[in-house]
Amino acid sequence: MSLLLGPMQQHIPGRKSLTDHSDVKVLMPKERVFIPLFAGPVTKYDLLVSEGDHVDIGTRLANTKSAFDVPLYSSVSGTFKGLVKKPHSSLKPQLHFEIELDPVQTSIQAFEPLNWENASQEEMVSFMKETGIIGQGGAGFPTYVKYLKPQGIHTLIINAVECEPFITADYKVIMDNVEDFIHGCRILLKMSTGKECLIAIKKTHPDLIDYVNKEIQKEGLSDIKVVPVPDVYPMGGERTLVRTLLKKNFKRLPAEVGAIVNNANTAILTARAFEKGEAISKKYVTFSGEALNYPTNVLVPVGMSVAEILENIGGIKDNLASCRLIAGGPMMGKAMVSDQICIDRAMNAITVLKDEEEPAMTCMRCGRCTAHCPVGLQPVRIANAVKMNDVAEMEKRGAMQCIECGLCTYVCPSKIQVTENVRKAKRTLAMKNRRGN
């Protein structure tokens, strides 16, 4: 950690007006979906359907296994054609369920709802595991894991900040489902064993703050509060959020300082699972960026291809080769080489920008990257260690703590891809840890 901590955050133009006040487009694929088996670090799976089987919306397709197990349900009804490898937003080809759609969609209840007000904490966690809900904040980690054995938790933080530029999917999903949102907060609060739930929303969205506050008042809740937070990046990062709301720093997990953090859409999915027996099937996804003809939010089944969605919303201004297609937002998202990737259960945005990267100049040792790092790292020192292939120095400088927020690259006046170098350091250290030397 740097001794000279700077602002550790930065205001970034949000470009939210491109999509936040236009209608959400509801789309269905013409013929088929490809549902990624992969979400989070899946290593093994048990297939529960065979080629040629008919599936409904809500049919359990597989039990996936990683460090933690989580089931996967179908987002459409149709015929299971088999598992195929396709490009994926993890940057590696992954297995996908190919399902040919029925002309008329049919659904079943994925599981029996649970009367959560009467259920014990253990019953709620075990139910949560069966719902297959994974975190909607990006990493796609199974949600139940955070609630397994909560100790000393006093605060549940619901992250509705959406600090990445362009993305408005959470804003839209809350606006359309505010009752489910508040029910989800209540369920997660009970499961967390905490005393209060703080919903963090940017001050620049007063309409959303007002709307959520009215719903809280309508339900007469005193343990759930909205906390308006400044419009700075990365306010939606767990560390920055916990530091802002609780004035505390943690090393590895928010639970160390008595908090659990979940994304806003995770709360909505939780309410639907507990109260209606629904698994994740449809997703709000923001398609935005200057390179699109008509930026918009879409509501689509998991597994619809990005190429088909782009075709339905008016496409790209120029051509794909002259653009940067990013899964996620421009700061933390991953650049894709193909529009054949499909919407997965954790994805909330596709950003398409003109490819106009400026050439890098020499580092002028201004220290801006260090002053702005929300984790308190010295990114330029890590980048130098990467150039020298000095693995011990990468470790000493704490490269593995980097949350890949992209801020060091954003603030660098020399246009150096600092974040990319820190990512390389993380990959080098991960490989070293796997080899065990």
- The site for ligand SF4 (CB under 6 A) is made up of 363-369, 373-375, 377, 379-380, 402-408, 411-414, 416, 418-419, 422
Rounded to whole angstroms, the Cα distance separating 234 from 328 reads 14
Cβ proximity to ligand SF4, 24 vs 161, nearer residue: 161
CB 72 within 8 A of CB 60: yes
Q: Shortest gap between Cβ of 370 and ligand SF4 (angstroms)?
A: 7
* 163 marked as binding residue: no
Half-sphere exposure of 426 (CA within 13 A, CB side): 13
Complete DSSP assignment for 298-351: EEEETT-BHHHHHHHTT-BSS-GGGEEEEES-TTT-EEES-TT-B--TT--EEE
Q: Would the annotation count 408 as a binding residue? A: yes
Q: Is 185 annotated as a binding residue?
A: no
Instruction: Report whether 197 belongs to an annotated binding site.
Output: no
At closest approach, how far in Å is the CB of 261 from ligand SF4? 17
- For ligand SF4, the closer of residues 113 and 376 by Cβ is 376
Is-contact 265 135, C-beta < 8 A?
no
Greatest alpha-carbon pair distance for the chain in Å reads: 63
DSSP string across 246-266: HS---SS-GGGGTEEEEEHHH
Please name the helix (run of DSSP H) or strand (run of DSSP E) that holds residue 24, with its range, or none. Answer: none
Task: Kindly tell me which of 209 and 407 has the beta carbon lying closer to ligand SF4.
Answer: 407
User: What is the rounded CA–CA span in Å between residue 74 and residue 143?
Assistant: 19
* Euclidean distance between CA atoms 317 and 354, whole angstroms: 9
Mutual orientation of helices 121-131 and 178-192 as an angle, nearest 10°? Answer: 130
Smallest distance from ligand SF4 to CB 253, Å: 16
Q: If DSSP codes are grouped into helix, strand and coil, which group holds residue 354?
A: strand
Q: How many residues does the chain have?
A: 437
CB of 266 to ligand SF4, least distance (A): 23
State which residue, 120 or 362, has the beta carbon closest to ligand SF4.
Answer: 362
Cβ of residue 146: shortest distance to ligand SF4, in angstroms? 21
**Closest separation between CB of residue 12 and ligand SF4, Å?**
13
Query: How many CB atoms are located within 10 Å of the residue 161 CB?
Result: 28
Residues 169/25, Cβ–Cβ less than 8 Å: no
Contact assessment for residue 291 and residue 316, using Cβ atoms and an 8 Å cutoff: yes
Q: Which amino acid is at 128?
A: M
Rounded distance, CA 376 to CA 297, Å? 34
- Name the region of 152 (left: φ>0; alpha: ψ -120 to 50; beta: rest): left
Q: Considering the complex, what minimum distance in angstroms separates the CB of residue 243 from ligand SF4? A: 13
> Residue 362: CB partners within 8 Å, gap ≥ 6?
414
- The nearer residue to ligand SF4, 184 or 234, going by C-beta atoms, is 234
> Which CB atom, from 10 or from 213, has the smaller least distance to ligand SF4?
10
- Name the residue nearer to ligand SF4 (CB basis): 197 or 369: 369
Q: Which of 46, 40, 33, 111 is nearest to 77 (CA)?
A: 33
Nearer to ligand SF4 by Cβ, of 230 and 314: the residue is 230
Residue closer to ligand SF4 by CB (options 242, 411) is 411
342 is in an annotated binding site: no
Q: How far is the CB of 377 from ligand SF4 (least distance, A)?
A: 5
Shortest distance (Å) from residue 386 CB to ligand SF4:
12
Question: What residues form the annotated binding site?
Answer: 363, 366, 369, 373, 402, 405, 408, 412
Question: What residues form the annotated binding site for [4Fe-4S] cluster?
Answer: 363, 366, 369, 373, 402, 405, 408, 412
